[in-house]
Amino acid sequence: MKKIVLSITMIALATFVIAQDASLIKKPAIAFKFSVLDFKKTNQTEGLTKTVPSLGLQYLQGISKHFDFMSNLDFASLKYPYYTSLNQPKATENKMYAAFDINLNYKFLTDEHSVVPYLTAGIGASSDNFNIYHAYAPVGGGLQFKANKGSFFNLMTTYRAEVSELTKMHFSYGVSYSIPLKGKEKKAIMLPPVTVQADGDNDGVVDSEDLCPNQSGTIKYRGCPVPDTDNDGVNDDNDKCPNIAGTIKYNGCPVPDTDKDGLSDEEDKCPTVSGLSRYSGCPIPDTDHDGVNDEADKCPAVAGIAANNGCADVQPILEQAADVLKFATGKVYLSKKVLTGLDAVIAMMNENSNVVIDISGHTDNTGAERINKKLSHERASVVYNYFVKKGIDKSRLTKDGYAATRPIADNATKEGRAKNRRADMLARY
């Protein structure tokens, strides 16, 4: 695709340097456009956008009699159908879609003909709700129909090829009507004959036109000195901010705020990085350097992970202890081997005071549901009571029993039933 765009661009430049008949080169024009976007069906398009109308604008200008520059701006409301393989969340509601591209059109005939077929190619970018951006390469063709006074109708279809990973290939079918942009012609100003007049202050402005005839000034200010509109001590010719009082140090402008965070550079400890006033213009700190700032970090002094709000991932410790939390049929007894694993969990909880553990008891599918329900509660309780006995506050523990409703192995085998007679632990913050 890049080779096609480059080739067309080189042809356009070569054609441009050849003498052209200016009357055959399209004048700058603005066009109103209506399009239909057609997305190819994928596994993720069920219930999402497939075809959708779009409104937009075009800008057209001739480069030579056979080449035009064209830019397109389109807006639509749609559920963007990302490819399933990209793991993008499936859209649940329509969002603003905007696309902008620039193109080079090659016309097989000149604009003096009533109907002109042409080819087009370019490059563009679009956004999903101005949050996710995609790059695409439009290629296609169309027909130009001559209208009155330099206006044209255009019928165009383009294939928008994928350039970035998140782009979803699709077609665009559009119709537009262009209106030439015409500037006003300047009328010649007839000056009266020059006559010699008095200039009392010798500033080059005659007294009859001098607004300050007794004070030497400049022609630019009609015989008056250079003004200081904002009265900041820097005259308007040297003042980069003539309507806002500033300082000499900053050429008449106020003290700048480079990062636009509301604190001037002279007060801002981080002048090039946007921050907050309570941190003297610096961003919210991340004391433990774990990627979660201190205001969002529930464990600001201990490096953790974003999924745990900046706290350490302790779930592996719980899972290792739970691997041996298995019970004999109908039993709730805890062996020394099991207690060793639970002691490791207690040590972790003492180091992480904000961790809460949900304890769940389970059984295999042998026996009555009523008995299994009670037994699963007892298995959760025996772990719960051990933690409380070792000094863990009850507010940091929950317990529940689920009988045989949550098996992790096949209850049809002896080994599977042994794995299902267990207690699980889940950490939360």
pLDDT, tens only, 1-31: 444 444 445 544 444 444 456 778 889 999 9
pLDDT digits (tens, 9 = 90+) for 128-146: 888 889 899 999 999 999 9
What average pLDDT does the segment 157-175 reach? 91
pLDDT digits (tens, 9 = 90+) for 408-423: 999 999 999 999 999 9
What kind of fold does domain 2-180 have according to CATH? Porin (2.40.160)
Compute the distance between CA of residue 359 and CA of residue 382 in angstroms, rounded to an integer.
10
Look up residue 298 and give its two tokens: 């529930």
Residue-level pLDDT at 4? 45
What kind of fold does domain 315-428 have according to CATH? 60s Ribosomal Protein L30; Chain: A; (3.30.1330)
Residue-level pLDDT at 142? 95
Residue-level pLDDT at 195? 65
Compute the distance between CA of residue 164 and CA of residue 144 in angstroms, rounded to an integer.
31
3-class state of residue 88 by DSSP? coil
What average pLDDT does the segment 186-196 reach? 64
* φ/ψ of residue 357, rounded to 5: -115, 130
Compute the distance between CA of residue 22 and CA of residue 111 in angstroms, rounded to an integer.
11
Instruction: Round the average pLDDT of the chain to a whole number and report it.
Output: 86
Residue-level pLDDT at 191? 66
Residue-level pLDDT at 233? 87
Residue-level pLDDT at 47? 55
Taking the domains of the chain in order of start, what are their residue ranges? 2-180, 315-428
Look up residue 137 and give its two tokens: 């390469």
Residue-level pLDDT at 237? 87
